[in-house]
Every structure is written in C-alpha cells, then in structure tokens.
Structure 1
C-alpha cells in the first residue's frame, strides 16, 4: 500500500524524531522518579513510606492527559513570578519540557510499583551476605541489589515504555509538534484523515516493534549471569 503524503513526509519524519526524543526524555526522568519512589516505599522510615505511597497513588489516580494540561498551564503563574523575581521580561515552560515532566511523573509512578516488587523479590539473605562481607549499605545496593532488581523489573519497565511511547500523542494538545500533531496539521491541509492517521498508526507500530526488539536484547543481557548460575 502506497500513501500519497502530499509533501508532508519530511514533517512526519520530524514529528517522529520529536516523539522519540520526548519518549526517551520522559523515560529517563521516570526511571529516576520510579527508583526513588520504590526506595521510599521500601524504606523502614514511615515518613518516606508515606511520601512514596502518596506519590504513586496521587499520580496514578489522575489521567495522563490531565497531568499534561495541569503542568503546562499550571506553571504559567509560577513562571511569571519567577521572571519578575529574576528581573526578566518573560519566562515560560516549553511544551516539550511540560510534556517530559508530565509523562515522566506518570511513568515514574507506575515504575515505582515495578521497582518495589523487584526489590521485594530479592531474598533478604543477599543483603545479609553483603553485610557479612563487610560491604557498606551503598555498595550492597549498587553491587548486589540493583543488578538483580534491574533484571526482575525489566519486563515490566519495557511494557510501561511501550505505553509511554503511545502516550506521547497526548502532548499534541499543548502544541508540541510531535507525530500526532504533525499528522493533524497534514489532515487539515490535505483533507485526507484516513491516509495520515493510518501512516501515523504504522509509524507508532514500527516504533513499538523496535522497542520490543531492544527490550529483548536488554533482557538477554541482564539475564546472562543468572542463566549461567542456574546452569
């Protein structure tokens, strides 16, 4: 099947690249937030447990689209106040930054539960072995806990990333010219919605397939030591 893109091919390519950038930036932020949230929820300190649980529950209880709108429009007054404080004429949060923060927050909330489950799946004897060897708590985490946690959490994180890739389309509502926004512009100009929305669907499908292949190799790499020890 060949689609006549009416000269919008480069625009769709630029939108695809923007979608990839947004997804990767949100992934990086979400992984950090998810790891911090999981460590807070598994901490013996009650205030940290409450903080991690509140973040996870609050963010997951609100639709992603609302977070995009709240963060983008809710920071207008804050940015104006900050600009006045710094003596600047204007200061605003870009659509890309707002989308990254919103999607990163949402990804991190779900990743918190994935990381938490992975941490709880690691036998306590591994920590005790690290203490017996005289390792400090940070070294136990980085050398013993984190590699195992990553292997266990990777399938769940991969599924979340595929959802995140498709959720980037939500940022089109605040004007970011990613793939969905570019497709809408092309539809308005060409009056051919089926053509451009079908092309966008195929591009999203292609990105998902590439993400699945990358996840497969990451899982194989993360499981190499575990497979050898099991043999």
Structure 2
C-alpha cells in the first residue's frame, strides 16, 4: 500500500522520501491507542454512571466530583498533570522501596490518561442512556427473579446501548483526534511521525495533510461500524415516521 501511494505521489511531484513505513506505524499506533483508551473509558463510564445512579451517597459523591473536575479542565492540561504526576509518584515509590528508577511507558501512560479523561464523558453518556430505559422493564426483570448482573446484561445494557450509541460514537471520534496530544509525552503516533517526516524533508505541510487524510480514513471506517451497531441495537424498534 505504501509503495502504491509513493508511486502515485511521485507522479504528482511529491515523494514520501522513505518515510512511508514511519507514517504507517504512526497510524497503527494511533489506532491501538484509540481502541485501548476507548475500552478503558467505557469501563470507567459504566462504573461512574452506576455510581451516580446509586442510592448510596458515598458512591454518588466521588463520581460527581470526578465528572465535574475532568470536564472542567482542558484535556492538554489534564494530560500533562496526570502523566507527570504518575511519573513523580512512581519515582517516590521506587526511592522509598530502594528500587531502580522506573520510567512509565508512553503508550501505557497515553491509555491511562485518555481513558481516565474520557471516562468522565462516558459516565454522563451512559447515565443518560440508563435513565432512558423504561423503569417497567427493570421491574419486570426483578419480578422474573433475575439477579442484578442478569438484569444489567439481559435488560439494561441492550436497551441503553440504543440510546448511548450516538454519544458513544461522538466520544470515540473525540478520543481518536485527542490521541494527537500524546505526541507531547514522547509517543510516536501519527502526528509525531508526520512532524518528524516533515521537518526532515522540509515538507511539513505535505506530511500534515497526509496525516489529516489518514485520520479522515479512520473516522470514515468508524462511521460505517457505528451505523452497523446502531442498526443492530435498533432491531425490533419502530422507526420514527417522517
């Protein structure tokens, strides 16, 4: 694929100048980081939404504080704070225990940071979706003797996903684009690869355009997947009359 792209660009007067594999690896790193961060965000979002809807105040208060603080501070500031705080705490722990210095892996740090940040947004997405599930459905599931785990897996989750998917898809797109911020902590993502290639060849604009096109391809594929999921979870629902 890279060779084909290189030939096409060569005919147009441009050349990847050997940076094709670097860009491809950067794109793959971006996809891996986005998917892993999405999974962590979904888990935190489900836990946070359940806590905010809990009848126990000791669960609601931390969840409310979490979503309020995270959504009120810019992502770049949070990323720097979380990344350097984790490294500082880890260094203090290794010193206290007499261990050798441990440096946090940028990929793991990127997942933890993005997952923690966007878990707050998924919390509100899932909370609204859970509230949209008719209460009668839960009462019927309880009457049938289903356990709490069974009620969630068989009744709540399939129905809430129909309401959550639009917000989930939007959050996924934001996470995908937010991965560009991890380049500041040393991760070789698509943006970092494009910058390195552009600075080395003095064609920064050209390589940034290629990065933008790569993001566009990824988001286009994501839209296809999201539409498929929407159709799947809308099975059995009557479409609105227009």
Q: Is the shorter-chain TM-score for this pair beyond 0.5, marking a shared fold?
A: yes
Matches within 5 A, 1:78-97: 78-97=89-108
Structure 2: which 5+ runs fail to align? 1-7
Matches within 5 A, 1:1-231: 2=9, 3-226=14-237
Q: Residue 80 of structure 1: CA displacement?
A: 1.5
Give yes or no for contact 1:82–1:91 (8 Å, CA) kept in 2: no
Q: Residue 227 of structure 1: CA displacement?
A: 5.2
Q: Residue 88 of structure 1: CA displacement?
A: 2.6
Distance 1:197 1:186 in 2: 9
Structure 1: which 5+ runs fail to align? none
Q: Residue 136 of structure 1: CA displacement?
A: 2.1
Distance 1:226 1:140 in 2: 20
Give yes or no for contact 1:35–1:112 (8 Å, CA) kept in 2: yes
Moved segments of 4+, more than 4 Å: none
Name the TM-score, length of structure 1 as normaliser: 0.94
Distance 1:152 1:121 in 2: 7
Name the TM-score, length of structure 2 as normaliser: 0.90
Distance 1:183 1:146 in 2: 40
Q: Secondary structure at the match of 1:75?
A: helix
| RMSD between aligned residues | 1.6
Matched residue count:
228
Q: Residue 77 of structure 1: CA displacement?
A: 2.2
Give yes or no for contact 1:118–1:152 (8 Å, CA) kept in 2: yes
Q: Residue 92 of structure 1: CA displacement?
A: 2.0
Q: Residue 152 of structure 1: CA displacement?
A: 1.4
